[in-house]
Amino acid sequence: MELNGSQILMECLLEQGVDTVFGYPGGSVLNIYDELYKYREKIHHILTAHEQGAAHAADGYARATGKVGVCLATSGPGATNLVTGIATAYMDSVPMVAITGNVGRPLLGKDSFQEVDITGVTMPITKHNYIVKDICKLADTIREAFYIAQSGRPGPVLIDIPKDITAITCEYMPSMPKKVFRQVCSIRQKDLDEAVKLIRDSSKPMIYCGGGIIRSSAHKELLEFAERIQAPVATSLMGIGGFPETHRLSTGLIGMHGSKASNMATTECDVLIAVGARFSDRVTSSVNTFASNAKIIHIDVDPAEISKNVKCYTSIIGDAKEILTNLNEMIVQQDHTEWLENVRGWKEEFRFDYQRDDKLRPEFVIEDIYEQTNGEAIITTEVGQHQMWAAQFYKYTMPRTYISSGGLGTMGYGTGASIGAQMGMPTKQVVHIAGDGSFRMNCNELATISYYNIPVIIVVLNNSVLGMVRQWQTMFYEGRYSETTLDRGPDFVKLAEAYYMKGYDVFTQEEFQQAFKEALESKKPVVINCHVGEDEKVLPMVAPGAPINDLILE
């Protein structure tokens, strides 16, 4: 059948199972938005307040559901406003397709109004990108983009479509989506055998779980693997939820703000099995001392990650779920009672804790959210101290329940991500934990949350400072608080009310408990502004460049 480019785009989105698109219209995508109007019963479009919010919403949707997130923007500034969101998804391996309009083909390269070379701009932060200059190639390009976004190590793909391509016609043939198979051809038996031998000969094995566990849906296989080899399990920020934190083998977060048990066990282990992790500097700190007593087995889908940051002893390339399935079949039950007793001692010696008194402290807020949601909420965060407290004090037992910008560390990420997560998982309660600095960067998305009545509960840990930067200034810059005091508006409760939302100002533990209880019961969007101390610290902490077993505890 003969269809124009905009119709082809709609049909291809439906082919790929897309039900939600986050975006913002403009001149170069008018034809696409005209077609979206006609397809509104099949594809739900969420109009965000800003294109960056659309990108973050698509990212949050993808992380919460495991499906491909889709965002749409016009040319020029519309396209460049997606860049931070695309980079965020790229750093954290999130499957996303960003669709941008561009000026018509005759105007390309002439500095035309609202023209930008968005494929050139995004080349370093996408798995692949396209500019479609032939209408006959549009459908196959869209299909290929979705396949690339999901296959291997997931990531964002951008499709740039000139405006005239969205209007002209060609023959369209429907097609079923190409099945995405797990990457298994690179899994070599000799690599599996070598890993099994190292694990069998180990007396102090340790597992380091990264975001690849969640991307490959390998959490059940990891649990079986850990129990089979009787090894403690530490998680990176991106790996949170990949292993249940209530399990006796869990040691929690690893790295700069990790637990003493995770950091000590990694330092003392004789074999470290890293699964779907990239050895970020926030995990390793001093590369020369990281796991220096261990032979490192690195399991990853991306061969480029092997020995990139930390040199490994051996590696297995391929899908984590398939690799762990193979290892579980090959390994007999291990017993490391003495080693686990040592680790348990570290867990008892220092737990994530805080001064328990009558003050409203950030850690109390996170713990109470955990209690009132029975540990079943999806938590989204911004970036900063609140992000770390949310990682430390909420006990995650399932994947895709902690959604945060890890690699890029994007302040302004979380409110958009909470929109996407809630739209993708409407039966779950999404709680967005923000700092006042980050929330100022994206509070315009309250317009989106309010208009669509998205029942996100936004909890702002408001300390009137840029908390994490201030913490560094206190500890490493002799208290020179250069431009980190946020002694200015807005009044977040009045701001919520301006968007027709309920807002709470809370100063005490009792006030927070009551406000959060009412928010849960209301099933409506709510902002809770928690007034906490400006000098609260995220502890433990490893100083930059120090060994991870050298923890600052107070």
Give the catalytic positions in this structure: 51, 113-114, 163, 468
Instruction: For residue 422, give both structure tokens.
Output: 């809630």
Q: Compute the distance between CA of residue 394 and CA of residue 262 in angstroms, rounded to an integer.
A: 17
DSSP H helices, 172-319, are 189-201, 212-215, 219-229, 260-268, 281-284
Scan for tokens 């785009």, then name that residue.
9
Please tell me the distance from the alpha carbon of residue 344 to that of residue 198, in angstroms, as a whole number: 23
Question: Which value, to the nearest 10 degrees, does the dihedral of the CA atoms of residues 381, 80, 212, 204 take?
Answer: -70
Q: Are 175 and 19 in contact (CB under 8 A)?
A: no
Return the structure tokens found at 160. Answer: 């740039």
Going by C-alpha positions, the residue among 187, 192, 218, 207 that lies closest to residue 317 is: 187
Grouping H, G, I as helix, E, B as strand and the rest as coil, residue 193 is helix
Grouping H, G, I as helix, E, B as strand and the rest as coil, residue 201 is helix
Residues 30 and 2: beta-carbon distance below 8 Å:
no
Q: How far is CA 390 from the centre of its chain?
A: 13
Edge to edge, the sheet with strand 96-102 lists 44-47, 20-23, 69-73, 96-102, 156-162, 128-131
Question: Before 490, cis peptide (omega within 30)?
Answer: yes
Residue positions counted in the chain: 554
Query: What single letter denotes the amino acid at residue 481?
Result: Y
Tokens of 428: 């779950």
The first and second tokens of residue 117, run together, are 């070379």
Give dist(CA 224, CA 226) in Å, integer: 6
User: How far apart (Å, rounded) are the C-alpha atoms in residues 385 and 375?
Assistant: 21
Distance, CA of 74 to CA of 161 (rounded, Å): 10
